[in-house]
Amino acid sequence: MAYVPRQRRYKVRWKVVAPLLVLIALIVYLLIGMFLPSNHQEVKKFTVCGLNEEQTIKALHKTSKETISVSDYLYYGESLDLYEKKYSPENKDTLSGKTVELKNICDGKTISMTMENTVDQKILLDEIPEGYYEVSIIDNLVKKRVIFQQPLKENAFYTAQRKGKVNKVSLIADTQLLKDYQITLDKNYLFLQVTSQTPRKGDIDVLIDPFGMNTDLTWLPDEGSKVNGLNENDEMYKAAVLMKKELEEKYGLRVAITKASKDEKGKAYGSDGRLAKGYKQHAKYYLFLRFSNYANDTIRGFEVAHSYYSSKTLARNLTYGVHKNLKMPLSPMYTGSDAGIVTGLLAEGADGKTIYDTNLYLRESGGRATLAGKYSETSQEQNADFVNANGMQGLEIDFVYISNKEDAALWKKQKNAIIKETARAFAEGINADNTTR
């Protein structure tokens, strides 16, 4: 008989194994929790200014008996404009002359501004630090919270770049602001949120439009004036290139030119036109560069034109700079009491209303504020995309009278200095500085 060894039996010691199994199960559970997302994570509730939930509710859940209702707003350059009625030059601006008060609930500080009757002198966004602001208006010495008739949808706006950053501005007016806490506000109170951010790729601050090879008013490209040894088309493109370099390298602004070479043809109208480049890249400012030309060749001087709907402030900064620092003469043409400054005139449009800037460049670059896309049938057909757009604050800069021999000689001798001083005065006028690089 073969020998069969006796099988050894093992006895499970449950007192030892059971705790070990529990430990293994616990480890597996923890690993799953670490590497797999939980479907039961608590949703973070809305807060502002780094406040906790209780503080946020206390800061925002306020009622006000004294309110003023606003139904419309627009942006022009870096100005935020509020209106009681739908914006139109035919409606009286009832908020003009009143003081707007912005109270930062993050630190309790208050900013006050007087809203003028021009589209560039309302709430100046370049002067507002980061924060979350209650918006009030002083009406007949009574402080009234601003409310909107309807909740506002997403409306982010970005300011020009300063010190390598831009401010994102959002208007918030919604009774459901505190819905995370099951709280409904009694009115659509207006809040202004300002946050500093890295600039968005593709955006610009300034669009420079040098005169020349334009097909805006003629079938053939208009090369501009050619007199006293100067070619307007060539000179303005060179001026645009130098001004772009100055604004970018010295003042940290993002700049584009409407054409890639002096020979490039183009028009102001249309979704593929020169101005469309500024709209698509969210430019805040538009500078149209050219020479003046007049039959009376004794007239001379530096000249800046602005829209009928904007103030003289920025234009005055440029004329003051070149006159003070370069001793340039200022044009006496069409300027009233301010030498060198031309305020836009109004013309009758296709609708029979005399409410349109005669200068098509300042009109069509200003978006909704200057009634772009409405003046003529051509404007209505080709610039319909600009009708409700945020407007670029526009200036036409006429460096010299090319028809005047003294001015022509001055340009030939000092054009680099003139362009650089114009760039400096413009940058100063919009509160850009040279500490960005």
Q: What is the 3-state secondary structure (H, E, C) of the chain?
A: CCCCCCCCCCCCCHHHHHHHHHHHHHHHHHHHHHHCCCCCCCCCCCCCCCCCHHHHHHHHCCCCCCEEEECEEEEECCEEEEECCCCCCCCCCCCCCCEEEEEECCCCCEEEEECCCCCCCCEEHHHCCCEEEEEEEEECCEEEEEEECCCCCCCCEECCCECCEEEEEEEECCCCCCHHHCCCCCCCECEEEEEEECCCCCCCCEEEEECCCECCCCCCCECCCEECCEEHHHHHHHHHHHHHHHHHHCCCCCEEECCCCCCCCECCCCCCCHHHHHHHCCCCEEEEEEEECCCCCCCCCEEEEECCCCCCHHHHHHHHHHHHHHCCCECCCCCCCCCCEEECCEEECCCCCEEEECCHHHHHCCHHHHCCCCCCHHHHHHCHHHCCCCECEEEEEEEEECCCHHHHHHHHHHHHHHHHHHHHHHHHHCCCCCCCC
CB 187 within 8 A of CB 152: no
Domain-by-domain residue ranges, the chain? 53-197, 206-429
Of 281, 268, 242, 267, nearest in space to 158 by CA: 281
Query: How far lies 321's CA from each of 252, 291, 422, in Å?
Result: 20, 18, 7
Distance CA 394, CA 271 (A): 19
Chunked into runs of 10 residues, the chain (437 residues) has average pLDDT values of 48 57 66 56 82 95 96 98 96 96 97 97 96 97 96 94 96 96 97 96 98 87 94 98 98 97 94 96 98 96 98 97 97 82 96 97 98 96 97 98 98 98 98 66
What predicted TM-score, i.e. pTM, was given to this entire model? 0.89
Return the pLDDT at 302: 98
Give the number of other CB atoms < 10 A from CB of residue 433: 12
Please give the CATH number for the structural domain made up of 206-429: 3.40.630.40
Q: What is the rounded distance in angstroms from the CA atom of residue 9 to the CA atom of residue 357?
A: 104
